[in-house]
């Protein structure tokens, strides 16, 4: 049987490359001459293109800079920026104009700070907030990356990239967010509100890892898609992470909802909640697998007297505001409201200080439980009982120390009033605010139906016996720095039947020791203080089961 033309062409190209002439090749396949000749002619044309090389100056400079950067662990983004500045001097003037225009925009534009909201619904605009590190953006009609600080508004088509230590969050017009880990580059390819009925958002992810939290609004299911070099990930009401490595390989983890994955060959796979998928080339060999249970989890719960959020050491936050706005920027985290209160889970928390913000919505005790769960066992628990007036906002700083992604010690290092500066960077979009039900409004209406409106007023007894078995722990008096200013609204602590005013205590580091058999309950001790600060009660427990976590706990 005669060879296919593709095979014959390949043979001829090999001969051409080895030095044969085109005529030599054609003579070998006379009956295919008509087909081969134009193809070989095009190939010969390409073989004749002159070879080029990098200039010696570039090779040397780039080589030295690359190696120096590696040795000094310099950030590649900075190295690239230096080169752009050096080479693209032609864009200096336009860039300066862009900076000036941006400054003018900032001067005349209210409402783009995290504490406020954009005045109008602009589906084709999105907010970019820098959480930490270096972040740059590239406008759709620009070739020059610009460093970003704080929160800015960008148009669809803009690209964003984070440096090695950079964290950022994109907030879309419906409140959906994409949190960007270090080394990530994305382009917002589309953001629209089709017929004011359906959210349509498409994010192109070239590299790095994004954590996507889809909100949606309108009468139709939102279309939220992440396009990677190998596949398109279409969310169905979802929280999921997408990771793209330098080869374009894509990793997907679904924490909530379902994600449909479509590859370039239009193969389709559905990835359900708690499943993950790795795509090397196509979906042909890709099979969703169950995500292994988290070995290390930080868990917070708060009774219905308030709402809380937590900000991680990188500046990302997850939780609720009193106006009902929810946000989820911390990878692999979840937050939920129910009639029992609020809970937040963060899988595999990183080392560093987590800032928990607690906001009172009714003047009742707020009971905040902070737990570390390892391999389904609660290895650390702190219960804080706060009696607060409405509107009291407090932050609790918890320092976690990890080794090999497992928390070795946890330490409540300080308390402080929010005092106007919220730790969370949350852009409140108009549509999200319209949709949200203020928690304070529903909190006084018992037995409200929906989850978002599920906060009901409950009475918390401070005399409830501790439901957890507590290990022996000790506390030491706080340092002066841990005591918040006295000007803030006071919180009165109720310890058993006696109301006392106590200084805030700093709980010493608690080594994580799973499955202790110690069952002694030891009250937290507090030191007297000359000032009259708000007070907080803490209990520390090391228990053997996770199921003990939810009961409000106070210490007489």
Partner 1 sequence: MAIEGDVEAFGILYNTFVNQIFRYVFYQINDRMKAEDITQEVFIKSWKSIQTCRGKEDTFSAWLYRIAHNQTVDTIRKSKPEISLELIDPVGNANPETEAEKAQEWQKTAAALKNLPEPQRQLIILKFLEGAENDEIGAVMGKRQGAIRALQMRALDNLRKKLSGGTE
**Closest-CA residue to 83 (of 100, 66, 107):** 66
Closer to partner 1 by CB, 107 or 404: give it: 404
To partner 1, the closest distance from the beta carbon of 555 in angstroms equals 49
List interacting residues with partner 1 (CB under 8 A). 5-7, 9-10, 13, 17, 38-39, 41-43, 45-47, 49-55, 58-59, 62-63, 65-67, 69-71, 76, 79-80, 83-84, 87-88, 138, 140-141, 143, 159, 164, 183, 185, 187, 206-207, 229, 245-249, 280-282
Rounded alpha-carbon distances, angstroms, from residue 60 to 65, 91, 399, 448: 8, 25, 46, 69
**Residue 228: CB partners within 8 Å, gap ≥ 6?**
205, 206, 242, 244, 248, 250, 279
To partner 1, the closest distance from the beta carbon of 477 in angstroms equals 47
Contact 357, 424 (CB under 8 A): yes
To partner 1, the closest distance from the beta carbon of 2 in angstroms equals 15
To partner 1, the closest distance from the beta carbon of 85 in angstroms equals 11
**Closest-CA residue to 241 (of 217, 266, 276, 195):** 276
φ/ψ region of 511 (left if φ > 0, alpha if ψ in -120 to 50, else beta) reads: beta
Closer to partner 1 by CB, 70 or 293: give it: 70
Contact 367, 383 (CB under 8 A): yes
Closer to partner 1 by CB, 282 or 521: give it: 282
Closer to partner 1 by CB, 3 or 196: give it: 3
Closer to partner 1 by CB, 156 or 526: give it: 156
Contact 160, 168 (CB under 8 A): yes
**Phi, psi (degrees; rounded to nearest 5) at 15:** -70, -40
Closer to partner 1 by CB, 218 or 248: give it: 248
Residue 198 CB burial class (10 angstroms; 0-12, 13-18, ≥19)? middle
Rounded alpha-carbon distances, angstroms, from residue 107 to 102, 171, 356, 477: 9, 22, 32, 47
């994955």: which residue's tokens?
A: 261
Cα(282)–Cα(123) distance, integer angstroms: 33
Cα(173)–Cα(150) distance, integer angstroms: 18
Closer to partner 1 by CB, 54 or 99: give it: 54
To partner 1, the closest distance from the beta carbon of 152 in angstroms equals 18
Closer to partner 1 by CB, 58 or 106: give it: 58
Buried b vs exposed e over 81-114: b needs ≥16 C-beta within 10 Å?
beeeeeeeeeeeeebeeeeeeeeeeeeeeeebeb
To partner 1, the closest distance from the beta carbon of 83 in angstroms equals 6
The sign of the torsion formed by the CA atoms of 479, 481, 485, 490 equals negative
Give the pairing type, strands 250-263 and 268-271: antiparallel
- DSSP per-residue letters across 181-200: -TT-EEEEEEEEEETTTEEE
Cα(473)–Cα(410) distance, integer angstroms: 13
Cα(135)–Cα(384) distance, integer angstroms: 37
To partner 1, the closest distance from the beta carbon of 283 in angstroms equals 12
DSSP-assigned letter for residue 419 = T
To partner 1, the closest distance from the beta carbon of 95 in angstroms equals 16
Closer to partner 1 by CB, 267 or 448: give it: 267
Residue 291 CB burial class (10 angstroms; 0-12, 13-18, ≥19)? middle
Closer to partner 1 by CB, 151 or 228: give it: 228
Closer to partner 1 by CB, 189 or 433: give it: 189
Cα(516)–Cα(468) distance, integer angstroms: 13
To partner 1, the closest distance from the beta carbon of 261 in angstroms equals 16
Paired residues of 279 in beta bridges? 250
Two tokens, residue 102: 């941006």
Closer to partner 1 by CB, 42 or 293: give it: 42
Cα(280)–Cα(516) distance, integer angstroms: 44
Closer to partner 1 by CB, 42 or 115: give it: 42
Paired residues of 379 in beta bridges? none
Closer to partner 1 by CB, 90 or 421: give it: 90
To partner 1, the closest distance from the beta carbon of 495 in angstroms equals 53
To partner 1, the closest distance from the beta carbon of 48 in angstroms equals 8
To partner 1, the closest distance from the beta carbon of 141 in angstroms equals 5
Helix axes 76-87, 56-71, angle to 10 degrees: 150
């Amino acid at each position: 049987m005669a060879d296919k033309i593709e095979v014959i062409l390949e043979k001829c190209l090999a001969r051409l490359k080895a030095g044969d002439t085109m005529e030599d090749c054609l003579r070998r396949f006379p009956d295919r001459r008509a087909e081969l000749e134009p193809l070989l002619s095009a190939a010969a044309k390409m073989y004749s293109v002159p070879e080029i090389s990098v200039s010696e100056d570039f090779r040397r400079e780039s080589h030295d800079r690359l190696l120096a950067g590696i040795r000094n662990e310099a950030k590649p983004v900075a190295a690239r920026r230096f080169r752009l500045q050096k080479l693209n001097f032609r864009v200096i003037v336009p860039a300066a104009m862009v900076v000036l225009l941006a400054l003018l925009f900032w001067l005349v534009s209210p409402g783009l700070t995290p504490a406020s909201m954009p005045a109008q619904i602009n589906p084709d605009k999105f907010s970019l907030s820098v959480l930490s590190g270096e972040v740059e953006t590239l406008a759709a009609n620009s070739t020059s990356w610009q460093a970003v600080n704080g929160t800015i508004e960008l148009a669809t088509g803009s690209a964003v990239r984070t440096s090695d230590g950079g964290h950022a969050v994109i907030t879309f017009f419906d409140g959906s967010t994409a949190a960007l880990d270090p080394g990530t580059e994305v382009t917002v390819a589309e953001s629209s509100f089709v017929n004011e009925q359906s959210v349509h958002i498409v994010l192109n992810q070239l590299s790095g890892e994004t954590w996507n939290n889809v909100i949606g609004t309108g009468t139709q299911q939102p279309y939220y898609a992440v396009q990677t070099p190998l596949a398109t990930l279409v969310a169905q009401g979802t929280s999921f992470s997408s990771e793209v490595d330098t080869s374009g390989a894509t990793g997907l983890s679904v924490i909530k909802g379902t994600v449909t994955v479509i590859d370039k060959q239009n193969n389709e796979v559905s990835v359900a909640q708690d499943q993950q998928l790795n795509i090397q080339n196509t979906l042909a060999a890709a099979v969703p697998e169950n995500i292994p249970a988290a070995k290390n989890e930080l868990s917070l719960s708060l009774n219905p007297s308030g709402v809380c959020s937590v900000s991680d050491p990188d500046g990302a936050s997850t939780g609720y505001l009193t106006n009902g706005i929810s946000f989820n920027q911390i990878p692999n985290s979840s937050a939920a409201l129910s009639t029992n209160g609020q809970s937040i889970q963060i899988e595999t928390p990183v080392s560093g200080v987590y800032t928990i913000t607690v906001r009172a919505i009714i003047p009742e005790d707020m009971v905040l439980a902070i737990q570390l769960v390892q391999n389904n066992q609660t290895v650390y628990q702190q219960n804080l009982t706060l009696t607060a007036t409405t509107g009291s906002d407090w932050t609790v700083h918890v320092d976690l120390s990890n080794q090999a992604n497992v928390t070795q010690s946890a330490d409540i290092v300080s308390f402080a009033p929010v005092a106007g500066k919220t730790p969370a960077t949350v852009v409140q979009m108009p549509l999200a605010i319209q949709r949200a039900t203020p928690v304070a409004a529903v909190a006084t209406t018992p037995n409200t139906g929906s989850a978002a409106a599920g906060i009901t007023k409950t009475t918390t007894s401070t005399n409830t016996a501790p439901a957890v078995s507590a290990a022996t722990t000790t506390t030491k008096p706080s340092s002066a720095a841990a005591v918040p200013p006295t000007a803030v609204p006071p919180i009165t602590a109720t310890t058993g039947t006696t109301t006392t005013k106590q200084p805030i205590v700093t709980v010493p580091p608690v080594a994580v020791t799973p499955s202790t058999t110690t069952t002694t309950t030891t009250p937290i001790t507090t030191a007297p203080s000359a000032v009259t600060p708000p007070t907080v009660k803490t209990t520390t427990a090391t228990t053997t089961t996770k199921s003990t976590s939810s009961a409000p706990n106070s210490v007489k």
